Amino acid sequence: MSASPKGKEKEVDGHQKQPQEEVGKHAAAAVIVIGMAGSGKTTFMQRVNAHLHAQKTPPYILNLDPAVTHLPFTANIDIRDTVDYQEVMKQYNLGPNGGILTALNLFTTKFDQVLAHVEKRATTVDHIFIDTPGQIEIFTWSASGSIITDALASAVPTVVAYIIDTPRTSSPATFMSNMLYACSILYKSRLPFILVFNKTDVQSHQFALEWMRDFEAFQAALIARRNEGAGEGEGGPGYMDSLMNSMSLVLDEFYKHLRAVGVSAMTGDGMEDFFHAVDEARKEYETDYKPELDKIVADRKRETDAKKADSMARLMRDMKVSGRTTDVLSGSSGISGSESADDKKKRELEEFLRVKEEEEAERDDQDSDEGEIIDRSSRTDYYDLPTKRTRGASGVAGDDGTVWPAP
């Protein structure tokens, strides 16, 4: 009996199976870890890293926080190896948050190289974790954060893990604030979403799950809060309770399609539940997000092809109106073989447009390497800034007399 050819599809019980060459094809799931400052993101990342190493399946880790002074784990790609946060603050005369945002923007201009490394390793690991800056708004509401998120989601299955400080969420008001922020991130990223209630070794997250499942339980918590006299000075307990009641009703649909797990980054409790939620979120990516992404890519390709065809038609019309012949393009007066004048003209125009597109693409690559967002009038390069400069070093005087450190 002859062996079936490689890649040939098999049919079992009337169902078509994958081609044999697709069996075993693997792509890691990327998890973007987001959370408020102090929620325990870095400790959570350390626990996840230790858990996966114990299972002999080490993850691929990216650190996008340029201001962190110490990481309790080893990152495969670290923004601090590319951009010196302290030096960026000095050279751009920025504060802490502006320095983090600018460092992230500079790093994003080179994210195509990061993505190449990620895609290469995605077939050899099971999980890719991305640790984001502690200032949550810098990543979630910045252009660089959106670019990084969309780029990852277009390359590998991507989910968002929103870390919540459970003890600080025990109040209905802070709980509702966290849920509203989670809802905004979900609808901005449009990626599969996991709520991770951290620090369950300090306080259980069951109260939060109950509030999410049962509207009446949340109302009872609001009544207990009112009886305790909380909320005075916040516009009055009546106003706050009415507002949170309305919000909880609005978020009821949001809760129904949300995965929530409780973990302890200190003890490691709940890690299995978290990775089970990641697996479910990855399936959601494949069934919901990926088809939508493919549709957007196909629509853009159709638009590009339509523009090319329209440009070609306009050129053909212009040449006919001007009375030019193929001699203008080819330099010959005859038409070889059975090729008509219009066919030859169209072929030559297509070749001309192709060469033009290649030249433009080459120029774009060169521009991206130069880093257009940098003001090069007094500075040269800000990507490789690993060394710190001593005080009193020579500088560059700006137009307003400000002395900037020499790059």
Give 168-193 pLDDT, tens digit per residue. 998 888 898 899 999 999 988 889 99
pLDDT level of residue 129 (50, 70, 90 thresholds):
very high
3-state secondary structure of 324: coil
The token pair that represents 383 in the structure block: 């990507």
* pLDDT of res. 194: 95
pLDDT higher than threshold 50 for residue 44: yes
- The share of the chain scoring above pLDDT 90, in percent, equals 40
Segment 110-117 mean pLDDT: 89
Q: Are 393 and 405 in contact (CB under 8 A)?
A: yes
* pLDDT of res. 18: 40
Count CB atoms within 10 A of the CB of residue 188. Answer: 14
Distance of CA 38 to CAs 146, 166, 313, 380, Å? 23, 11, 60, 37
pLDDT level of residue 302 (50, 70, 90 thresholds):
confident
pLDDT higher than threshold 80 for residue 90: yes
The token pair that represents 249 in the structure block: 């009703």
pLDDT level of residue 234 (50, 70, 90 thresholds):
very low
pLDDT higher than threshold 60 for residue 233: no
The token pair that represents 136 in the structure block: 């949550």
Beta strands in 171-233 (DSSP E): 193-198
pLDDT higher than threshold 60 for residue 378: no
Q: Are 146 and 138 in contact (CB under 8 A)?
A: no
* pLDDT of res. 60: 93
Residue of higher predicted confidence among 205 and 246: 205
Q: For residues 84 and 103, give the distance between their C-alpha atoms in angstroms, rounded to a whole number.
A: 8
* pLDDT of res. 216: 85
DSSP string, 30-86: EEEEEE-TTS-HHHHHHHHHHHHHHTT-PPEEEE--TT-S--SS--SEEGGGT--HH
pLDDT level of residue 227 (50, 70, 90 thresholds):
confident
* pLDDT of res. 226: 78
Segment 44-68 mean pLDDT: 94
Query: By 3-state DSSP, what share of the chain in percent is helix, strand and coil, each rounded to 5?
Result: 55, 10, 35
pLDDT higher than threshold 60 for residue 14: no
Q: Write the DSSP symbol of residue 3.
A: P
Q: Write the DSSP symbol of residue 230.
A: T
Scored b (16 or more CB within 10 A) or e, 204-227 reads: ebebbbebbeeeeebbebbeebee
pLDDT level of residue 401 (50, 70, 90 thresholds):
low
Backbone angles phi, psi at 200, to 5 degrees: -70, -10
* pLDDT of res. 362: 67
Q: Are 114 and 77 in contact (CB under 8 A)?
A: yes
* pLDDT of res. 320: 65
pLDDT higher than threshold 80 for residue 74: yes
pLDDT higher than threshold 80 for residue 284: yes
* pLDDT of res. 238: 65
